[in-house]
Amino acid sequence: MDLGLRDRTYIVTGASAGLGFATAKALAAEGARLVISSRNEESISRAAAELGENVVGIPVDNADPESAERLAATAVAKWGALHGALISVGGPRPGTALDSEEDDWRSAFESVFLGALRIARAVARAGSEGTSIAFVLSSSVKSPINGLAISNGLRPGLAMVAKTLADELGPNGTRVNGLMPGRISTDRLKELDGKSGDPEAARRASEKTIPLRRYGTPEEFGRVAAFILSPAASYLTGTIIPIDGGALRTI
């Protein structure tokens, strides 16, 4: 299937590694032009070089109020158009609802929630016909994850923002969706498994709760994300899609 991505321009945040990089790689392989970002200048420059000549890397922090407009303006200035974005913001600090510091909640709200909203609004304003926006959320949208209280608190709200934006932007032809990765083998998941003291045992225990009996790969996530962003998914909006090997038990 031709996804129709060739010569279309997308922003991918959190793209120096993990889910963001995997999505950027899938988009670039289909001929898309990209503006990718992360907070670390060295890592985002390295990722852009690996992805090819039609990729520009920018070091920005999603929590910075000026980052959203900078990303959108770069895409339009470089390629004359903007067709969408994958908004990946990373995971908040682990902790319980009782013990997590208020500063951690505030910091996560600025980056995970407000930062993502700013980027979506900037892309909606600058986007060309057929713009597609996808938020990287979490399975915590549907069911809380032990030890990730801040994510459990923020992700469901962001999912409803995505649904609301789909309603508001739909008449203009702009699509907005959310993606709920489950246990995907990223550095973030390795860190979380490592907190158990026995990461291999933690992984084996988690895999038993997944119908496919394994963790997913970033590439498996990236292929789904590229499809959702592409014109091939032109009648898909307002959906929150699990990519979790069947782990969520909800409909």
Determine the structural domain holding residue 146 and report its residue range.
9-184+218-239
Q: Are 155 and 195 in contact (CB under 8 A)?
A: no
Q: Is residue 3 part of a domain?
A: no
For the residues 125-131, what does the mean pLDDT come to?
95
C-alpha distances in Å from residue 3, one per residue of 24, 32, 83, 132, 189: 14, 10, 14, 13, 30
Residue 230 sits in a domain of what CATH number?
3.40.50.720
Q: Is residue 36 part of a domain?
A: yes
Residue 191 above 90 pLDDT?
no
Residue 80 above 90 pLDDT?
yes
Q: Are 136 and 87 in contact (CB under 8 A)?
A: yes
Residue 193 above 90 pLDDT?
no
Residue 31 binned pLDDT confidence (cut-offs 50, 70, 90): very high
pLDDT at 139: 93
pLDDT at 203: 92
Q: Which residues contact 201 (CB under 8 A, 6 or more apart)?
A: none
pTM: 0.95
For the residues 58-73, what does the mean pLDDT come to?
96
Look-up of token digits 């997590």: 100
pLDDT at 198: 86
The gap from C-alpha 233 to its chain's centroid, in whole angstroms, comes to: 17
For the residues 71-78, what does the mean pLDDT come to?
98
Number of domains within the chain: 1
pLDDT at 70: 97
Residue 130 above 90 pLDDT?
yes
Return left, alpha or beta for 198; rule: phi > 0 is left, psi -120 to 50 is alpha, else beta: beta
For the residues 197-210, what does the mean pLDDT come to?
90
Helix (H, G, I), strand (E, B) or coil at 136: strand
C-alpha closest to that of 39 among 25, 63, 60, 22: 60
Distance CA(156)–CA(150), nearest Å, equals: 11
pLDDT at 82: 98
Which contiguous run of DSSP H or E holds residue 26?
helix 18-29
For the residues 223-242, what does the mean pLDDT come to?
98
Q: Is residue 77 part of a domain?
A: yes
Residue 186 above 90 pLDDT?
no
Q: Is residue 38 part of a domain?
A: yes
Q: Is residue 125 part of a domain?
A: yes
Residue 182 above 90 pLDDT?
yes
pLDDT at 187: 81
pLDDT at 199: 87
pLDDT at 194: 84
For the residues 137-152, what does the mean pLDDT come to?
94
Q: Is residue 111 part of a domain?
A: yes
Residue 1 binned pLDDT confidence (cut-offs 50, 70, 90): confident
Query: What does the pLDDT look like over 165-174, one tens digit per residue?
Result: 999 999 999 9
For the residues 193-214, what does the mean pLDDT come to?
90
Q: Is residue 41 part of a domain?
A: yes
For the residues 163-188, what does the mean pLDDT come to?
95
pLDDT at 197: 83
C-alpha closest to that of 5 among 231, 239, 249: 231
Q: Is residue 190 part of a domain?
A: no
